[in-house]
């Protein structure tokens, strides 16, 4: 205790005195500002911005040299606009044609059937084809998965 006051009370009194002694900030400064903050950022210049405001995506791919196989975002939309011809294997939608494409046989093992499913999905999965052909690819994958599941169930009996 200092002069009959608790330590807490003496700290509060000191802070109160300091606040009353400090002059009011000048009103000449307008707005809130953190000194030095404006010099720590690099603003994009007019020359560096890509058309359409996609400069962030453009520069993102610049830092991915190991992923050069990815389509550039600016050209990706143009590629989706032009619908290519449907691949011949996606036109084969009957169950008999899909079974022929799968090449199922009575001698297939469980591991062999799983390998056939993966190989089939590599070329026919809806995520791997043009968006215009998703319905056909979805139909082919659904039938193929049903056929493989039935064959796996027969093996487990």
- Mean pLDDT (10-residue bins), the chain, 157 residues: 74 86 59 60 56 65 61 55 84 93 91 94 90 93 95 90
Q: Is the dihedral of CA 45, 50, 51, 52 positive or negative?
A: negative
pLDDT number for residue 93: 93
Q: How many CB atoms lie within 10 A of CB 133?
A: 20
pLDDT number for residue 55: 65
pTM for this prediction: 0.48
91, 136 Cβ separation under 8 angstroms? yes
pLDDT number for residue 134: 93
**Cα distance between residue 140 and residue 147, in whole Å:** 11
pLDDT number for residue 8: 86
Question: Max CA-CA distance within the chain?
Answer: 100
**Cα distance between residue 129 and residue 133, in whole Å:** 6
**Cα distance between residue 61 and residue 70, in whole Å:** 8
Q: Give the list of residues 6+ apart from residue 44 with CB closer than 8 angstroms, or none.
A: 55
pLDDT number for residue 41: 55
**Cα distance between residue 150 and residue 147, in whole Å:** 5
Q: At what angle do helices 95-102 and 110-124 cross, to 10 degrees?
A: 120
């Amino acid at each position: 205790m200092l002069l009959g006051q608790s330590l807490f009370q003496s700290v509060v009194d000191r802070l109160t005195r300091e606040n009353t002694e400090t002059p009011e900030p000048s009103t000449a400064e307008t707005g809130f500002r953190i000194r030095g903050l404006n010099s720590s950022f690099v603003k994009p210049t007019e020359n560096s911005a890509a058309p359409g405001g996609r400069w962030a995506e453009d520069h993102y791919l610049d830092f991915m040299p190991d992923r050069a196989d990815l389509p550039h975002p600016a050209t990706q939309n143009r590629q989706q606009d032009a619908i290519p011809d449907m691949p011949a294997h996606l036109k084969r939608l009957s169950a008999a044609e899909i079974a022929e494409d799968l090449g199922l046989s009575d001698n297939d093992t469980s591991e062999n059937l799983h390998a056939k499913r993966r190989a089939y999905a590599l070329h026919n999965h809806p995520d791997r084809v043009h968006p215009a052909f998703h319905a056909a690819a979805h139909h082919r994958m659904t039938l193929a998965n049903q056929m493989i599941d039935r064959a796996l169930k027969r093996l487990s009996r």
